[in-house]
């Protein structure tokens, strides 16, 4: 049937007309995957806080928890975690049917925890989810994917499907080594995505810049690809305090040092012009959510 439709010139014309119409009238989302070599470096917090900042700036954001098997985004952005990707894998629902609206208007897709069938997706299931994601691109400005740590087929699949991969590291030597290993695998797996480095838990700007320079130099020399600088998030005690309150730091402590860094990162990624009015707008909107 599908083959017949594809060969039918009338159908091909219609499909091409529809594609042209969609291209001219709809937004096509940018897909940003957030990943790391080492675990526990702050990916989930980056994904949640960045999504909230972009949403506050007026962007339509869809946040996908793709840390399959150990999903935990819903801990800091509370939604009903029973509605999750396992329903898509079992064929009971489509991806667009399990989107929920979380805090700050961020639309979320929960991953589903403790389910081995999610942790070990086969190639067909992985392709199915990634294909389904293309339907979401028409409904949003940006799709942010929170992946698991380390190199696995699931993580590589999501990174390959993205336009931009943000590799997160901390200043710890082991985390830096693992970030480079991740960048190496990403470039060798023929991903066309732009790769950026984000230094989380940085002591200061200089420390973060030095780490970026060191990794960027070896990436250029040995992998022959550019590594973009996404900047840094300062080490901030407000962040674990917010997590223990089950809130993202930009909502719990909007004026904290890490919240300022998340806003700067969102501005950089959204290419929002950096000026005082925008910065104040961010603060005002985020503060408003608290009351």
Ligand X SMILES: Nc1ncnc2c1ncn2[C@@H]1O[C@H](COP(=O)(O)OP(=O)(O)OP(=O)(O)O)[C@@H](O)[C@H]1O
Contact residues for Mg ion, defined by CB under 5 A: 43-44
User: Long-range contacts: 216-220, Cβ < 8 Å, 24+?
Assistant: 218/180, 219/180, 219/183, 219/187
Residues 6+ apart with CB under 8 A from 291: none
Query: Which stretch in 80-88, 156-164, 238-246, 278-286 sits in contact with ligand X by CB under 6 A?
Result: 238-246
Nearer to ligand X, 105 or 150 (CB): 150
Give the three-class secondary structure for 182: helix
64 sits in which H/E element: strand 61-66
Minimum distance from residue 175 beta carbon to ligand X (Å)? 10
Binding positions for ligand X, 262-281, rule CB under 6 A: none
* Residue 118 binds to ligand X (criterion: CB under 6 A): no
Minimum distance from residue 195 beta carbon to ligand X (Å)? 17
41 binds, among ligand X, Mg ion, none (CB under 5 to 8 A by kind): ligand X
Query: Which stretch in 18-26, 116-124, 178-186, 229-237 sits in contact with ligand X by CB under 6 A?
Result: 229-237
Nearest residue to 37 via CA among 171, 138, 168, 178: 178
* Residue 172 binds to ligand X (criterion: CB under 6 A): no
* Residue 145 binds to ligand X (criterion: CB under 6 A): no
Task: Quote the strand ranges of 88-175, DSSP E.
Answer: 100-101, 107-109, 142-149, 164-169
Q: Are 38 and 178 in contact (CB under 8 A)?
A: yes
Residues 6+ apart with CB under 8 A from 171: 199, 201, 202, 203, 207, 208, 211
Among 54, 98, 149, 215, binds ligand X (CB under 6 A): 149
Q: Are 118 and 98 in contact (CB under 8 A)?
A: no
200 binds, among Mg ion, ligand X, none (CB under 5 to 8 A by kind): ligand X
Residue nearest to Mg ion (CB): 44
* Residue 235 binds to ligand X (criterion: CB under 6 A): yes
Minimum distance from residue 255 beta carbon to ligand X (Å)? 15
Distance CA 192, CA 211 (A): 24
* Residue 226 binds to ligand X (criterion: CB under 6 A): no
140 binds, among ligand X, Mg ion, none (CB under 5 to 8 A by kind): none
Among 81, 169, 200, 219, binds ligand X (CB under 6 A): 200
Residues 6+ apart with CB under 8 A from 188: none
56 binds, among Mg ion, ligand X, none (CB under 5 to 8 A by kind): none
Minimum distance from residue 238 beta carbon to ligand X (Å)? 8
Residues 6+ apart with CB under 8 A from 225: 187, 195, 219
- Which residues contact ligand X (rule: CB under 6 A)? 36, 39-45, 67, 149, 200-201, 233, 235-236, 239-240, 243, 258
């Amino acid at each position: 049937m599908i083959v017949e439709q594809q060969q039918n010139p009338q159908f091909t014309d219609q499909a091409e007309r529809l594609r042209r119409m969609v291209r001219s009238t709809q937004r096509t989302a940018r897909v940003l995957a957030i990943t790391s070599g080492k675990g526990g470096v702050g990916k989930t917090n980056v994904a949640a806080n960045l999504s909230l900042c972009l949403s506050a700036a007026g962007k339509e954001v869809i946040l996908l928890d793709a840390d399959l098997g150990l999903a935990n985004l819903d801990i800091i952005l509370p939604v009903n975690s029973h509605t999750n990707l396992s329903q898509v894998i079992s064929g009971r629902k489509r991806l667009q049917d399990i989107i929920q609206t979380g805090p700050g208007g961020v639309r979320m897709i929960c991953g589903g925890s403790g389910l081995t069938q999610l942790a070990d997706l086969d190639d067909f299931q992985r392709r199915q989810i990634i294909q389904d994601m293309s339907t979401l691109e028409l409904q949003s400005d940006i799709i942010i994917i929170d992946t698991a740590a380390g190199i696995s087929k699931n993580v590589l699949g999501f990174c390959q499907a993205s336009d931009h991969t943000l590799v997160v590291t901390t200043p710890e030597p082991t985390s830096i080594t693992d970030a480079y290993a991740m960048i190496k695998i990403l470039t060798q797996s023929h991903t066309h995505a732009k790769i950026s480095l984000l230094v989380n838990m940085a002591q200061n700007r200089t420390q973060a810049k030095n780490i970026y320079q060191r990794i960027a130099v070896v990436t250029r020399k040995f992998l022959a690809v550019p590594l973009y600088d996404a900047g840094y998030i300062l080490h901030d005690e407000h962040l674990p305090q917010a997590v223990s309150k089950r809130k993202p730091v930009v909502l719990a402590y909007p004026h904290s040092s890490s919240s300022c860094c998340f806003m700067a990162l969102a501005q950089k990624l959204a290419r929002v012009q950096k000026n005082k009015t925008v910065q104040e707008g961010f603060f005002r909107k985020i503060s408003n959510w608290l009351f």
